[in-house]
Structure 1
């Protein structure tokens, strides 16, 4: 421990420090998943474990399990047919193209979270030059106008965290965390801010 303390400096990751503190307290991280079981099925290899967890998560998060209050999208479609359809003739402030200033404001409101599959994080986006930002802006405006997301933005890296005091051998004892593209989330931040401002002004 003394040897580790002598090496701590400004560049030492905080996670590494907390890891040492937890080990001193007798808490050790378990990076490997134990053998998982679901009914009579047993998952031993990483591939089998991933498949079993995926099936468990699909079942738990199925729309069939949603309560009436959680069926917002379905209820909206039923109560207001066509309200979610794209309208080509709308020309108002809400549908105006994004601006560089709006995108920069969205970055300022973004938190420090783990990036998705592309490994591009908010900090990197915050250091883009104006020229690079304009290219990203072209992409956002095209997505906004066409209403179509790039395929890679629909992919996520899913990591699982075991729920406190749950049986580690059961796939339902884990909570999935989806790490999606920050470039995509970045655009959503801007759209959310613009919508909020539009509603307040209206």
Structure 2
């Protein structure tokens, strides 16, 4: 529902009211489910649907919904009652000056006092945000975002024919077509490496409840849920109750290579990068995916990294996506080498290369083949292959 009033545009949405949530009742409803018996004999997809349905039904009984307005032109945090009162005095002073009831100096004095209080209120608000960043990152970055010159609203976009596209649904379709066109087509079929690689080492290599609890405990509750409506706040609140069934589902998924359809769906939010805002190519896709799916992805990543590190597959010169390494460590190593050569009086030529759409165009078949050559187990390779295969997405533009 869109409500327009003057210059303000308000979108009203329904969200869960966590302040009125009965989490104790929710824990009771979910905790009394005999998960081992309920999930026994079910496929990964069936197990996931049972877990999801049980949690969403319990959630509906214990967490009420409330309406939330998304307003453009919302009052800033520093604009308190005192400042509003001072602005009112300033406005009245202006009227009195125009009517000859105040001198110009008196009006200017009222203006200076008001501006001084506004500057002070803004400064105090920024100090409050900075000192409280550890406990409330969301508010801090929301403030930084509000100061950016470029806003996140998309469009209008220009079609290939040069026509302006302004409708949210039409822009979503255009951006979706562009994002899909960037990805490299798969050659199709399951690579032979999935069938020829080694089996899992032992039954001790299982996904355990404590491992899942560790990941649930790290969830950022301010993040949005994916298309499956599994909210991180609820999963974290019910960490004791949901870690066991999730561990069962994760283990079943790893053993069979079956990925629940919900985990392979994504809501795509286009984020403006730079350049002409009318060009779809100047937006990058940010995916909102299933939270449990992302946890399973992290578990599989840990399995792969443990194998690669144990077999010393990753060299010291690799800095990207390596724990305890970053762009900074890469630059330090680079400059150390360069400066040592310069100190010796040797000439140094540097060539910088940047691959366009590098991650979007990685061949999945080559990736799977590499995992097999590094002797990763069959179950993990099959899982990664199926995780990357037959994914679906929908682009969300300005709420549509």
TM-score, length-scaled by structure 1: 0.70
Correspondence 1:96 to 2:221: no
Contact 2:212–2:246, Cα closer than 8 Å, also in 1: no
2:241 aligns to what?
A: 131
For residues 44 and 60 of structure 1, the distance between their equivalents in structure 2, rounded to whole angstroms, comes to 23
Residue range with higher mean Cα deviation, 33-42 or 137-146: 33-42
Structure 1 residues 15 and 119, CA gap change in structure 2 (3 angstroms): farther
**Aligned mate of 1:181, from 281, 287, 290:** 290
Contact 1:110–1:189, Cα closer than 8 Å, also in 2: no
Question: Which stretches in structure 2 are left out of the alignment for 5+ residues?
Answer: 1-75, 81-120, 312-400
Structure 1 residues 160 and 30, CA gap change in structure 2 (3 angstroms): closer
For residues 100 and 182 of structure 1, the distance between their equivalents in structure 2, rounded to whole angstroms, comes to 17
1:62 aligns to what?
A: 184
For residues 104 and 132 of structure 1, the distance between their equivalents in structure 2, rounded to whole angstroms, comes to 9
CA deviation digits over 1:65-96, x for unaligned, max 9?
xxxxxxxx97xx8xxx6112387x82414883
For residues 58 and 95 of structure 1, the distance between their equivalents in structure 2, rounded to whole angstroms, comes to 40
Contact 1:94–1:195, Cα closer than 8 Å, also in 2: no
Compare CA radii of gyration and give the structure with the larger one.
Answer: 2
Contact 2:263–2:293, Cα closer than 8 Å, also in 1: yes
For residues 180 and 234 of structure 2, the distance between their equivalents in structure 1, rounded to whole angstroms, comes to 33
User: Number of matched residues?
Assistant: 181
Secondary structure, aligned partner of 1:13 = helix
Question: Which stretches in structure 1 are left out of the alignment for 5+ residues?
Answer: 64-72
Structure 1 residues 128 and 201, CA gap change in structure 2 (3 angstroms): farther
2:303 aligns to what?
A: 194
CA deviation digits over 1:9-30, x for unaligned, max 9?
877822443355x17xxx3625
**Aligned mate of 2:230, from 96, 107, 120:** 120
Equivalent residue runs for 1:68-83 within 5 Å: 82-83=192-193
Correspondence 1:35 to 2:144: no
Equivalent residue runs for 1:8-23 within 5 Å: 13-19=139-145, 22=147
2:72 aligns to what?
A: none
1:66 aligns to what?
A: none
How far is 1:53 from its partner? 1.1
Structure 1 residues 109 and 94, CA gap change in structure 2 (3 angstroms): farther
1:45 aligns to what?
A: 167
CA RMSD of superposed structures (Å)? 3.6
2:49 aligns to what?
A: none
